[in-house]
Structure 1
Amino acid sequence: MYLNIKNKIEIILYKFFKLILVAVFKRNGDVLPIYLLKKLDKNLIDNFARDINAINIPVIFVTGTNGKTTTANLIASGLNKAGMKVCSNINGANMTNGIFGSIIERYSFNGKFNADIMVIETDEKVFPYIISKINPDLVVITNFYRDQLDRYGEVNTTMLSIKKSIQSLKTYPVLILPSNEPLASFVGFNTKNKKFYFNVKSEKKEFNNDYNNNNNDNNNGKSNNDKLNTLNALGSDLDDHNLCKREKENSNIALTDAISCPQCGNILSAYFNVHYTMINYCCNYCGYKNAAADVEAESSGDDYITFNFKNMEEFNSKVKSKGFYFKPSIQGYYNILNYMAAFLVLKFYCIDDEIIKKTFENYSTKFGRSFKKIVQGIECSIDLVKNPSGFNNVLEKIFEKDDCINALFAFSDRDADGRDISWIWDVNFEKYINKFNNIAITGLRPYDMAIRLKTAGIDIKKIKVNHNVKKAFNGIINDRYNYGNAVDGSYNCCNYSNNKKKLNKLYIFSTYTELSNLEKIIV
């Protein structure tokens, strides 16, 4: 609608550049073509953004620290199965160039935009810029945790930047938020936007206190109860706050990055579930607390999950069902939250429950997102790790089913990974020191990871370092039955004679830029 002859030529050039990158260089060609076109036309982004807004196509933004790729792809997959033509940066290129590359790719040579709806995964850093260009109808926020401090700064700064960018809009997009996560939930606090919340029903309250009494017994916003269950930001003895005792090795170092109230800065009082994740929180000074969940998930046995609805009529008057039941194709506590966020979006657009169920039960992950592949007869599982919260969640998910593993760490600090690697010291390796059989470490910063694992208490004999990714991979495959150079397999943490099958797996933990090197070997 707003595209001129020059823009139509840019569409042709984009498709040509991408064809060369994919066909000749075997690279994902979303980002570089936009980088080149911006050199030719400084108004490229503004022109195509203005056209998208004029078309008035529904736009969904998905952002957050962890889970945004899975959530966005679940949404796009469900919409596709419902027969809609979806524009999405499904390959995970979530910075400005990647986002607009996926948009321009959907244009035909004559300038027509060939999509019914847009699902855009957006990096937290560029979200304020992207939302200033394209008006969304719906914004999904998964969570906020510390992630690459050298790029983003403190997590509160990231959250406030996103909140302000949403409030600056002339329109009011619907917000889909996790009620259990104080920072993400705060984005909707005191805004005019419609907000809908999701959460996982707690199987157990790890910390027991008089939360409800404290929450309702405020004196000018300040509680008189001195025995609150608070998360002590200074790391003092939690028993002093009347919390139940937990041995050090059973604690989770990165319980949450929302230690203080995002509204007033005071320490939050909180309940935690068995995953050491907040389920209820309250500031006993200003009264900020978690919102009631509109959709709540609970286990139904045999790996099935049920979503219970509490407010779906207000969310969408066409939704008449009261519950949703399915068997997720990807496991893990945080993936359930991703499913719920995707579910709310799909129901917002009136997608049938049966289509959603088929989408969720048959969804296959992208490389690096709990991706599994048989290589040389070995089951390899690959996870992207980039911050303490995500890494802790991956470890917890793995050791729920396996009590001993072989592991490959591909660890680097290129720009896309983040130069600051201090976050690995907040990953709770101490909890699992006796659960690693053999470990190979590769990448640009392998010795930093080796020192971290050694400091955690893992036997140095188990660890081998090799800067060459392929050699490190082959080495751990060949050593999988051994323990720390014991070539006869005389001892390993899994009892070799009885548990050989357990060691016929390899778990790979990779930073972002090493995924491409691993993909060449594994896929």
Structure 2
Amino acid sequence: MPGSWAIILCPDFIGRITKPKKIIGITGTNGKTTVANMLEDILTQNNIPFFCNRSGSNVNTGIASALIANSNLLGHPKQDLAVLELDERSAPKLYPYLQPDILICTNIFRDSCKRNAHAEFILSILNQEIPKGTKLVLNGDDPLCSSICPENDRVYFSIDHLDTDKTVCENIVNDAPICPNCSGPLTHDVVRYHHIGRVHCTRCGYCSPEADYLATDIDLSAMTMTVKSGETQSTYSLPNSSTINIYNTLAVISGLLEFGLTPEQIRVPLQTLHISETRYMETETPNGKKIILHLAKAQNPIACSRAFENVRNAPGRKSVLLLLDDRHDAMHTVESKAWLYDTDFEFLNDDSIVQLILVGARHYDTYLRALLADIPENRITHMRNERDAVSALDAHADTIFILYEIHSISLSEEIRQSILDSAWAKGEKPAGD
């Protein structure tokens, strides 16, 4: 509310209010909030004062509110450092008035059909709007991200090797099929997911940049990785084993090292950090089974596909409950369902996934998409009422995955609690079994 009124009364308000001496920005399609939260937690544990927009939005009104809330009566900032999550689509309303000293970019993908369904559209906005004096910390394994603002000072972070590396993309979507330099066909030497990996162009010689911060020796049993920078290297803890969160952790380390923290100042806090429970939470039931809440970000085919692949790769027999709907949009618009067909539902067609439960107002849309992914019909249950899903759980599943969108956090928690109270979680024999 404060930021909204400030911009209504004064459209260039962000440019007029006094900014802190240093600003660290975090942008990109996926991972912004996770990276920002981890970075802020590490600064807090090092007793470095700052303010952020963690409890607000990442568009211009949210940034304005954060600046207002952290200024004194004379309009001067209370802290010398701000850490700001910055929506990439809002760049024209932010960067003309606010120049980050360091800007971390996690990746560039297509997103909601309404806002930024074309990755090159977002790339063109960032190229036009990012200030020339901003130092960039870029994902060197993303051909789109690494090509942002070539005239700016920059460093790249990259992952050296993963046991899951492929040479062929399994995903429906590849947002970088052509060379960003000459528009010739790109050869993908290493594929992690979608267009993330290492590439080269045989026409002009373009290739993925050399990393300034390279993650090596990734040990998922010990949950550690080594980061090499020049002649130095340090080992850090990993808060999560998924590939995208390895990249997120590496982005945090790279950004904070560029800011001036020592490896020790980063290493110690990382040992106790976890991914935010609004993104991922695991609960063990009284009978030793698991309930996992996993953000899937409806209307975002890349984030959903990452969640689906994480479910497929998890051990044991799994039931999957999808809370993907557009009810929060219903008062103003109806979201196109085209994003479902960019999303890799095929990852849920796996023998380890014994049940797929589709709920909500759009359950017939997701049911159709699941059938087109050749998921056996006898594994699929779909219904209108989300709360009825608990009674439909397969008693033989070892783990329940609840995949939910950002607007369904409270509903997902309510369903998790209902599952904890159910016969499935207590190890009791279900009625009629």
Could you tell me whether the CA contact under 8 Å between 1:175 and 1:196 is conserved in 2? yes
1:51 corresponding residue in structure 2? 17
Structure 2 counterpart SS, 1:52: coil
With 388-397 and 269-278 compared, the bigger mean Cα shift is at 269-278
Kindly indicate whether residue 23 of structure 2 is the aligned counterpart of residue 104 of structure 1: no
- Looking at structure 1, the residues matched to 201 and 269 of structure 2 have their Cα atoms a distance apart, in angstroms, of 39
Q: 2:98 aligns with which of 134, 139, 162?
A: 134
Q: What amino acid is aligned across from residue 401 of structure 1 in structure 2?
A: A
Structure 1 counterpart SS, 2:247: helix
Could you tell me whether the CA contact under 8 Å between 2:312 and 2:347 is conserved in 1? no
Kindly indicate whether residue 155 of structure 2 is the aligned counterpart of residue 263 of structure 1: no
Kindly indicate whether residue 414 of structure 2 is the aligned counterpart of residue 448 of structure 1: no
2:420 corresponding residue in structure 1? none
- Looking at structure 2, the residues matched to 429 and 272 of structure 1 have their Cα atoms a distance apart, in angstroms, of 23
- TM-score, normalization by structure 1: 0.71
Measure how far apart 1:290 and its partner are.
1.4
Kindly indicate whether residue 51 of structure 2 is the aligned counterpart of residue 87 of structure 1: yes
Kindly indicate whether residue 304 of structure 2 is the aligned counterpart of residue 391 of structure 1: yes
* Structure 2 CA distance for partners of 1:87 and 1:49, relative to 1, 3 Å: farther
- Looking at structure 2, the residues matched to 307 and 181 of structure 1 have their Cα atoms a distance apart, in angstroms, of 20
Kindly indicate whether residue 276 of structure 2 is the aligned counterpart of residue 366 of structure 1: yes
1:480 corresponding residue in structure 2? 394
Structure 1 gaps of 5+ residues are 1-31, 208-245, 312-320, 482-495, 497-502
1:240 corresponding residue in structure 2? none
Q: 1:168-183 to 2 correspondence within 5 Å?
A: 169=131, 171-183=132-144
The Cα offsets for residues 224-268 of structure 1, whole Å up to 9 and x where unpaired, read as: xxxxxxxxxxxxxxxxxxxxxx7xxxx612463111223332221
Q: What amino acid is aligned across from residue 267 of structure 2 in structure 1?
A: K
1:507 corresponding residue in structure 2? 401
- Looking at structure 2, the residues matched to 383 and 299 of structure 1 have their Cα atoms a distance apart, in angstroms, of 28
Measure how far apart 1:463 and its partner are.
2.4
Could you tell me whether the CA contact under 8 Å between 1:309 and 1:323 is conserved in 2? yes
The Cα offsets for residues 343-382 of structure 1, whole Å up to 9 and x where unpaired, read as: 1111122223233123323223334412334578752322
Measure how far apart 1:97 and its partner are.
2.0
Could you tell me whether the CA contact under 8 Å between 1:409 and 1:440 is conserved in 2? yes
Q: 2:232 aligns with which of 322, 344, 349?
A: 322
* Structure 2 CA distance for partners of 1:258 and 1:296, relative to 1, 3 Å: same
Could you tell me whether the CA contact under 8 Å between 1:271 and 1:278 is conserved in 2? no
1:353 corresponding residue in structure 2? 263
1:303 corresponding residue in structure 2? 222
Q: 1:415-426 to 2 correspondence within 5 Å?
A: 415=329, 419-426=335-342
1:381 corresponding residue in structure 2? 293
1:272 corresponding residue in structure 2? 190
- Looking at structure 2, the residues matched to 471 and 101 of structure 1 have their Cα atoms a distance apart, in angstroms, of 40
Q: 1:459-470 to 2 correspondence within 5 Å?
A: 459-470=376-387
- Looking at structure 2, the residues matched to 161 and 350 of structure 1 have their Cα atoms a distance apart, in angstroms, of 29
Kindly indicate whether residue 145 of structure 2 is the aligned counterpart of residue 184 of structure 1: yes
Task: Give the number of the structure whose alpha-carbon radius of gyration is greater.
Answer: 1
2:3 corresponding residue in structure 1? 34
Could you tell me whether the CA contact under 8 Å between 2:6 and 2:64 is conserved in 1? no
- TM-score, normalization by structure 2: 0.85
Could you tell me whether the CA contact under 8 Å between 1:410 and 1:446 is conserved in 2? no
Measure how far apart 1:470 and its partner are.
3.0
Structure 1 counterpart SS, 2:206: coil
- Looking at structure 1, the residues matched to 100 and 223 of structure 2 have their Cα atoms a distance apart, in angstroms, of 33
2:160 corresponding residue in structure 1? 201
Measure how far apart 1:522 and its partner are.
4.7
Measure how far apart 1:162 and its partner are.
0.4
- Looking at structure 2, the residues matched to 428 and 264 of structure 1 have their Cα atoms a distance apart, in angstroms, of 30
- Looking at structure 1, the residues matched to 402 and 334 of structure 2 have their Cα atoms a distance apart, in angstroms, of 19
The Cα offsets for residues 155-197 of structure 1, whole Å up to 9 and x where unpaired, read as: 101111101112xx3x5111001111011011043x1x21100
Structure 2 counterpart SS, 1:175: strand
Q: 2:355 aligns with which of 404, 422, 438?
A: 438
* Structure 2 CA distance for partners of 1:114 and 1:373, relative to 1, 3 Å: farther
- Looking at structure 1, the residues matched to 361 and 66 of structure 2 have their Cα atoms a distance apart, in angstroms, of 30
The Cα offsets for residues 91-131 of structure 1, whole Å up to 9 and x where unpaired, read as: 46222222222222223456442223111111221023211
- Looking at structure 2, the residues matched to 398 and 307 of structure 1 have their Cα atoms a distance apart, in angstroms, of 26
Q: What amino acid is aligned across from residue 114 of structure 1 in structure 2?
A: K
Q: 1:204-243 to 2 correspondence within 5 Å?
A: 206-207=166-167
With 101-110 and 372-381 compared, the bigger mean Cα shift is at 372-381
* Structure 2 CA distance for partners of 1:467 and 1:132, relative to 1, 3 Å: farther
Could you tell me whether the CA contact under 8 Å between 2:189 and 2:197 is conserved in 1? yes
2:129 corresponding residue in structure 1? 165
Could you tell me whether the CA contact under 8 Å between 1:138 and 1:173 is conserved in 2? yes
1:285 corresponding residue in structure 2? 203
* Structure 2 CA distance for partners of 1:299 and 1:275, relative to 1, 3 Å: farther
* Structure 2 CA distance for partners of 1:421 and 1:291, relative to 1, 3 Å: same
Aligned length: 408
2:411 corresponding residue in structure 1? 517
Q: What amino acid is aligned across from residue 199 of structure 1 in structure 2?
A: S
Aligned-residue Cα RMSD (Å) equals: 2.8
- Looking at structure 2, the residues matched to 418 and 138 of structure 1 have their Cα atoms a distance apart, in angstroms, of 37
Kindly indicate whether residue 345 of structure 2 is the aligned counterpart of residue 429 of structure 1: yes
- Looking at structure 2, the residues matched to 91 and 404 of structure 1 have their Cα atoms a distance apart, in angstroms, of 37
Measure how far apart 1:422 and its partner are.
1.5
Structure 1 counterpart SS, 2:96: helix
Could you tell me whether the CA contact under 8 Å between 2:3 and 2:63 is conserved in 1? no
